[in-house]
Amino acid sequence: MIGFSILGIAANAIRANKLRSSLTLLGIVFGMVSVMTIISALEGMMGAIEKDIGRLGPSTFMVAKMMIATSDEEFFKKIKRKPIDLKSADLIINECNLCEKVSPRAFSRARFKYGSDYIRDGRIMAGTYSFIDIVDMEVAQGRFHSMEDDLHRSQVVMIGDGVREKLFSGVDPIGKTLRVGSKKYTIIGIAKKFGSMFGNERDNFVVMPLSTYGAHFGQPRWGLNIVIKARSVEKLEDAMDEVRLLLRSQRGVAYDEEDDFDIMTADIFLELFNSITKVFRMALVGVSSISIVVGGIVVMNVMMVAVSERTREIGIRKAIGAKQKHILLQFLFESLILTSSGGLVGMLIGYLLAKFLVGMIGMEISPSAIAIIAGLSISMGTGLIFGIYPALKAAKLDPIKALSFE
């Protein structure tokens, strides 16, 4: 009951000083907006990146000449490696017992044209017929190319939803002829929409048989990369070891030398990405937290003024039996009410601002327990840290000197 009574006194004191309380609240709101905007935006972007990387699936891994380099030295070392070619892919297809599906793939860029409309810099993806069963790509309409298309180098493509929207608006593209570069291809399917990321449209692509790609565009300069689906999640590591041994043997890598190719799962790639961006993310949150510190200093100064103005009131309360802890709690409650209220308002504004900013680069965010807990912890922590000194000063006032204070 005493606690509720003290809480009521604190709330009444805040209402009695509306202008000062509002200005204090505003300082905390601005601080929380900056922090929550950064936290929510980073969380939304990281979630989108994790989702995109996770499209490979839990039992899938990739093999390539070079997939990631964390330094210039590592980059120049990896760039000298021999490219992965079709012989490597055939070896894995024929000899890897723990590999369920294997697809070499290649990438390029070209202009897509239909009638008078065109996409200037569309993305070409090429793979074997099993490619669709390995990566998280779904057919929305029509079909993916078949084994026969691979064998006969059929000039067929499955198009992304962005190509459909831009070149075939109001027209069924299935069966139509699309010019990719200087060649014509028959559209046999439409892929399910991926959406954009960081403002980059990810649906402006076509997928064609790898054999057709090789005949029309030649072998890619950097070589192929291979996506492989293990027989199960439990056998993923063993499948990766089996592929590693096959490639080391084929490429003549000595037992005491490191691999001259990269093997990565989605989890490994995500772990590397997180480690690379960790410092950057911490720096962003740290810089935005400066505004919270400034807001906390404002709270402390306002509470110090409040203690000074209400010294006589504190003396009267002590004279009629209030203990030090009651005075301490009163001013701490005032500080917590201000910072928590400002924190809630700031969290809401920060989330909406982050949603708007992240939406501009084609991604979405939703409220998460981490962001909410972090926001409440920061706002309440600010109230406790910056409110404790004024509260202690008020609690330690001598009642006789406080009563005689003018």
Which tens digits make up the pLDDT trace of 234-251? 888 899 999 999 999 999
Where do the DSSP E strands lie in 143-271? 156-159, 177-180, 183-191, 196-197, 200-201, 205-209, 225-230, 262-265
Same domain, 194 and 329: no
What is the model's pLDDT at position 405? 56
Same domain, 297 and 188: no
104's tokens = 């070499």
Same domain, 289 and 385: yes
Mean pLDDT for 21-35 is: 74
Same domain, 277 and 337: yes
Same domain, 94 and 243: yes
Whether 91 shows a pLDDT value over 80: the answer reads: yes
User: Per the domain annotation, does 60 fall within a domain?
Assistant: no
Given pLDDT bands bounded at 50, 70 and 90, which one contains residue 177?
very high
Q: Please list the residues that pair with 227 across neighbouring strands.
A: 62, 103
Q: pLDDT tens digits for 349-386?
A: 877 777 776 666 555 555 566 666 776 777 777 777 77
User: Per the domain annotation, does 74 fall within a domain?
Assistant: no
Amino acid (one-letter) located at 390: P
Of the ranges 39-53, 124-138, 196-210, 298-312, which is most confident? 124-138
| CB half-sphere exposure, 314, CA atoms < 13 A | 29
Whether 18 shows a pLDDT value over 60: the answer reads: yes
C-alpha dihedral sign at 357, 361, 364, 367? negative
What is the model's pLDDT at position 360? 60
Given pLDDT bands bounded at 50, 70 and 90, which one contains residue 74?
confident
Q: How far is 291 from 289, CA to CA, in rounded Å? A: 5
In the chain, what percentage of residues exceed pLDDT 70?
79
Between 195 and 75, where is the model more confident? Answer: 75
60: three-class secondary structure by DSSP: strand
Whether 56 shows a pLDDT value over 70: the answer reads: no
Same domain, 244 and 353: no
Q: pLDDT tens digits for 113-133?
A: 998 898 988 899 999 999 888
Domain boundary among 216, 234, 260: 260
Amino acid (one-letter) located at 29: V
User: Which residue range(s) make up the domain with 311?
Assistant: 2-52+272-403
Same domain, 105 and 205: yes
Burial class for 202, CB neighbours closer than 10 Å (0-12, 13-18, 19+): middle
User: Per the domain annotation, does 266 fall within a domain?
Assistant: no
Whether 190 shows a pLDDT value over 90: the answer reads: yes
Same domain, 300 and 328: yes
Given pLDDT bands bounded at 50, 70 and 90, which one contains residue 153?
very high
Mean pLDDT for 73-90 is: 86
User: Per the domain annotation, does 67 fall within a domain?
Assistant: no
What is the model's pLDDT at position 324? 76
Nearest to 154 by CA among 224, 217, 208: 208
What is the model's pLDDT at position 327? 76
Domain boundary among 210, 225, 260: 260
Same domain, 283 and 328: yes
Same domain, 253 and 288: no
User: Per the domain annotation, does 73 fall within a domain?
Assistant: no
Asked if residues 350 and 36 have their Cβ atoms less than 8 Å apart, the reply is yes
Same domain, 89 and 231: yes
User: Per the domain annotation, does 164 fall within a domain?
Assistant: yes
Whether 173 shows a pLDDT value over 90: the answer reads: yes
Domain boundary among 210, 227, 260: 260
Whether 319 shows a pLDDT value over 90: the answer reads: no
What is the model's pLDDT at position 78? 84
- The verdict on pTM exceeding 0.85 is no
Total domains in the fold of the chain: 2
Mean pLDDT for 374-400 is: 74
What is the model's pLDDT at position 337? 78
Between 268 and 185, where is the model more confident? Answer: 185
Mean pLDDT for 331-340 is: 78
Q: How far is 278 from 151, CA to CA, in rounded Å? A: 46
Given pLDDT bands bounded at 50, 70 and 90, which one contains residue 4?
low
* Least confident span in 30-44, 143-157, 171-185, 365-379: 365-379
Count of Cβ atoms closer than 10 Å to residue 43 Cβ: 20
User: Per the domain annotation, does 197 fall within a domain?
Assistant: yes
User: Per the domain annotation, does 72 fall within a domain?
Assistant: no
Same domain, 152 and 173: yes
Whether 267 shows a pLDDT value over 70: the answer reads: yes
